[in-house]
Structure 1
Amino acid sequence: MQEHRATRLHWDFRLEAAGTMPSWAVTRGPTLVPLEKRLAMHVEDHPLDYQTFEGVIPEGNYGAGEVIVWDNGTWELVEGDDPVAEIAKGKLKFVLHGKKLKGLFTLVKIKPREGEHGEPWLLFKDRDEFSDPTWKIEDHAESVKSGKTLADLQRSRKDAPIWKSNRSAAPDGTAVKRAARRAVATDPIPRDAKPMLTTLVDAPFDDPRWLFELKWDGYRGIAVVEADRVTLTSRNGKDLLHQFPEMKALAGAFRSIPVVVDGELCVLDEQGRPDFQLLQSRDKPDARGQKQRRKPSPVVYVVFDLLYADGRDVRERPLDDRKRLLEELIVPDRGVLYSKHVLEHGKELFHHAVQRGLEGIVGKQRASPYRSARSREWVKIKAKQRQEFVIGGWTEPRGSRKEFGSLLVGYYEGDVLHYAGHVGSGYDGELLSSLMKKLDPLARKTSPFADMPKPNTPAHFVRPELVCEVAFAEWTRENILRQPVFVGLRIDKDAKSVVRERPQHADPDA
Structure 2
Amino acid sequence: MSDLLSRLSDNAREQAHEVEQPEWMDPMQAKLTHDHFSDDAWLYERKLDGERVIVYIESDGKVRLMSRNQECLNDSYPELERALKECHKAPCILDGEVVALNDDGVSEFQKLQARMKVSSRDEACQSDVKVHFYFFDCLYIDGYDVTDCPLTERKKVLKEALDWQDPLRFTEYRKGDGLEYYQEACDKGWEGLIAKDGEGTYVHSRSPKWLKFKCVMEQEFVIGGYTEPEGDRVGFGALLLGFYRDAKFVYAGQVGTGFDDDTLRELHDRLQKIERDTSPYDEGDPQTKDVHFVTPELVCEVGFTEWTKKDQLRHPRYKGLRRDKEPEDVHKEEESQAAEPEL
* Residues 405-444 of structure 1 aligned to structure 2 (within 5 Å): 405-444=237-276
Q: Look up the match of 2:134.
A: 302
8 Å Cα contact 1:251/1:257 also seen in 2:
no
Conserved? CA contact 1:211–1:341, under 8 Å: yes
Name the CA distance, whole Å, in 2 between partners of 1:381 and 1:349. 10
Does 2:233 match 1:233?
no
User: Which residue of structure 1 aligns with residue 157 of structure 2?
Assistant: 325
Q: Which residue of 1 aligns with 2:49?
A: 217
Deviation at residue 284 of structure 1 after TM alignment: 5.0
Structure 1 counterpart of 2:105, which letter?
G
Alignment partners' CA distance in 1, 2:61 and 2:124: 30
Deviation at 1:238, TM superposition (A): 1.2
Give me the whole-angstrom Cα distance separating, in 2, the residues matched to 1:260 and 1:283. 22
Tell whether 2:201 aligns with 1:350. Answer: no
Residue 28 of structure 2 contacts residue 202 of structure 2 at CA under 8 Å; is this kept in 1?
yes
User: In 2, Cα distance between the equivalents of 1:399 and 1:429?
Assistant: 13
Residues 8 and 451 of structure 1: CA distance in aligned 2, closer, same or farther (over 3 Å): closer
Query: Residue 321 of structure 1 aligns to a residue in which SS?
Result: helix
2:176 alignment partner, SS class: strand
Q: Distance in 2 between matches of 1:232 and 1:499?
A: 25
| Structure 1 gap ranges (5+) | 11-26, 28-114, 116-184
2:115 pairs with 282, 295, 311, which one? 282
Question: Which residue of 3, 7, 10 corresponds with 1:7?
Answer: 3
Q: Quote the residue 2:317 is aligned against.
A: 485
**TM-score between the two structures when normalised by the length of structure 2:** 0.90
> What SS does structure 2 have at the residue aligned with 1:207?
coil
How far has the Cα of 1:6 moved from its partner?
6.9
Residues 1:339 and 2:171 are matched in the alignment: yes
1:257 is the counterpart of 2:253: no
Q: 2:328 is aligned with what amino acid?
A: K
Q: Cα RMSD between the aligned structures?
A: 2.4
Contact 2:75 2:124 (8 Å CA) reproduced:
no
Provide the residue aligned with 2:13 in structure 1.
none
> Which residue does the alignment assign to 2:14?
none
Q: Deviations over 1:472-499 (max 9, x none)?
A: 1222233211111101111111111111
Larger Rg: 1
Does residue 457 in structure 1 map to residue 272 in structure 2? no
In 2 relative to 1, CA 9–199 (structure 1 residues): closer, same or farther, beyond 3 Å? closer
Query: Does structure 1 conserve the Cα–Cα contact (< 8 Å) formed by 2:34 and 2:213?
Result: yes
Q: Distance in 2 between matches of 1:236 and 1:310?
A: 25
Change (3 A) 1:186 1:419: same
Query: Which sections of structure 2, spanning at least 5 residues, go unmatched?
Result: 11-16
Preserved CA contact (<8 Å) 1:470 1:486: yes
**Distance 1:508-1:434 versus aligned 2 partners, 3 A rule:** farther
Query: Matched residues, percent identical?
Result: 37
- How many pairs were matched up? 330
Give, in whole Å, the separation in 1 of the partners of 2:280 and 2:190: 34
Secondary structure of the residue aligned to 1:208 is coil
Match among 401, 407, 431 for residue 233 of structure 2: 401
Higher relative contact order (CA 8 A, sep 6+): 2
- Letter of the 2:112 counterpart: L
